[in-house]
Structure 1
Amino acid sequence: MNSQPEWMQWLNQAPASDSEAETPTAAVVPLRGAAPAAPGGDRVTEPTPNPQQPHRGPARAPQPAPVWPQRAVRPAPVVLVTGAGGGAGATTTAVGIAGAWAIEETASAAVVDLTVAGGDLGARTGTDDKAPAIETIADADDPAAIVASLPVSSAGARIIDRGELRFDDLPVQQVAEILRPRVDTVVYDLGPDALRLRECTTLREDTEAVFVLVVQARADSFNRLRGYLDLLGQAAGNDVFDRTVVVISHQNSAEPDVDPAELIAHVSSVVRAVEEVPYDPHLATGVAIASWELRAATVDAYARIQRATAAVQGRDR
């Protein structure tokens, strides 16, 4: 009889390959596509006239001053955050990733609640009854005005409510298109166990999406992680692991019943990155997250996750 805990018995096994998949890879429906950014992403500036240069030719009528863009328009990459079971911390991780983007002077982010039954994104960001639903933005005559006035988290990430939509409803894709030229990153809070659902097929098979799988530092949660990795490989091919980040979250101050080091050592060779979010008493309160109340180690962890997702998207600095 094998004396190792169940979660350790698969550490030396790679996730299922494409040939073992029972479900064939479905056609990909891209969620975005945008005009290419200006070379180097630099802002366009007007030339400065040389005061020593003599004037030539007749004077021209004054022209309206152009409105120069604040930043080059580019696609807003999608980050899909889901938990391996309930209570893993998917929502707080989604808020943390978006906040890490939003606090940068040249970046912006939006968090979309796309949990199955409606999550607590509004409560955790202090935007209850303020954030518009996805379909409200998609159906608006002037969606840009709504996006500009979205409520924000304490770190400045824009918040969008779930409403009554399912994962594969058209407005979900439309909102991604609406947000594309106005934010740098769109983070979907899928809640727990979402990747197993048929309704999530379109998002799951997006070839450019970054997956963030959040797992509690517990043996039973580690057991579930293997199923998620297998599911991703079957649905999107093993190339998906190069854009997958695993996050181990510590939900209480007690020592976990399992040492994450062995899991990290193995999974790091399979996925893009593995990061840990330490226990934070402010997150444990369940109230609206105030970014200034988070411990420095928590802020650093979210910044590392942000850098990992940026590296997948080719936006690491």
Structure 2
Amino acid sequence: METKLFSPYDLKGVTLKNRIVMSPMCQYSCENEDGIVNNWHLTHYTSRAVGQVGLIIVESTAVTAQGRISPQDLGIWHDGHIEGLKQITGLVKEHGAKIGIQLGHAGRKADIKEEIIAPSPIAFNEHYQQPREMTKLDISETIEAFKKGAARAREAGFDVIEIHAAHGYLINQFLSPLSNKREDEYGGSAENRYRILREVIDAVKTVWDGPLMVRVSANDYDENGLKIDDYVKIASWIKEQGVDLIDVSSGAVVPARIHVYPGYQVGYSEKIKHGAGIPTGAVGLITSALHAEEILQNERADLIFLARELLRDPYWPRTAARELGVNIEQPKQYKRGWQFE
């Protein structure tokens, strides 16, 4: 049987050499709190390209300084960030990988000294400061910041953009009734709570015509929160806007106990893929090539997103290929390391 994990995948004209995606993972490594790429970022992302990952997505990158998860986050809120990001894209592409970036805003989960903002003035928990409720001007400025971030991502040479609407950050806060108590056109009904994501997608698409993905948290893990059926509907709206793929995660909009196990989020990916008719990526404790292959063969997802496993093993695609009995291209400089296997 032909393996799907190492088959190419077309994402709106961008061909990934395999279905392995490095999930965006914050590195919290900007030494001067300036959001500028440094040597750690160059080493970290390039090594996964050498390791033959098909698509590498740079960590959540703040579209405003106020929207950083931490003071050490990468930024894309001014033109001075472009040069460092361009170094990452250039190095990654040299090794045959495609490169994406996740654009994000932390909202009430911004752990910074400055004032923070959110749809409603509700702190995430006792360890976070209480945010100020966003005005209409704040909302419009934030949407414009996502647009400008996308334009800078294009200039920096990224192949793919992902909008971060998951893990309890700003857009996720608007989507969930647990964190959005507004009574204007950005709150109340599901359609109103979706409005900011709709407007962000529309704004980004005015400056970006490449592959566009959205990451969602498909379960709030709270009886009064959103569940997978709600996200199938949200995914159908996302599809209508011309988004190419939904990266399906879960949780973190409110503190919750989550029972995790290998592939615990794959069912959400499968339901969104078939329920909304849109390609999806599956993520969450996928560590085995056989598991990844099962997900793809049974059409539970179109791409496999790996996070911690790629922190442990930058050369995981090599490990996976051996497990599946597939020969993959290696850097010519390393071939002698494997010639006697």
TM-score (norm: length of structure 2): 0.36
- The higher-RCO structure (CA 8 Å, 6+ apart) is 1
Rg larger in 1 or in 2? 1
